[in-house]
Amino acid sequence: MPQTSIASNPFALMMDPAAVIAAMERSERLAHLQSRICRPLDKILPVPADAETASFDGAVDASPAEED
């Protein structure tokens, strides 16, 4: 199958992932892209300001959720 028809058909690309990876490794445009690592799960959780706020937050968390 010619390379141009594979690239224009996304379903054909799913059938041959090795060809897609090889094309990505040969791509000059992809090689020149800037990249950075983002870790959105590394967030610091907010700490309650005082004991009263902490006890209120605990009471809210412990209460059963309202159903609509």
The total number of structural domains in the chain stands at 1
Domain that holds residue 21: 1-33
Q: For residue 24, what are its two tokens?
A: 């990505």
Calpha distance 29→60 (Å, rounded): 52
Residue 42 falls inside a structural domain = no
Residue 18 falls inside a structural domain = yes
pLDDT at 32 over 80: yes
pLDDT grade, residue 28 (50/70/90)? very high
Residues in the chain: 68
Please compute the mean of the pLDDT values over residues 49-59 and round it to a whole number.
83
Alpha-carbon dihedral sign for residues 35, 36, 41, 45: negative
Query: Are the beta carbons of 16 and 1 closer than 8 angstroms?
Result: no
> 17-26, 41-50, 58-67 — which is least confidently predicted?
41-50
Residue 50 falls inside a structural domain = no
Please compute the mean of the pLDDT values over residues 32-60 and round it to a whole number.
79
Residue 43 falls inside a structural domain = no
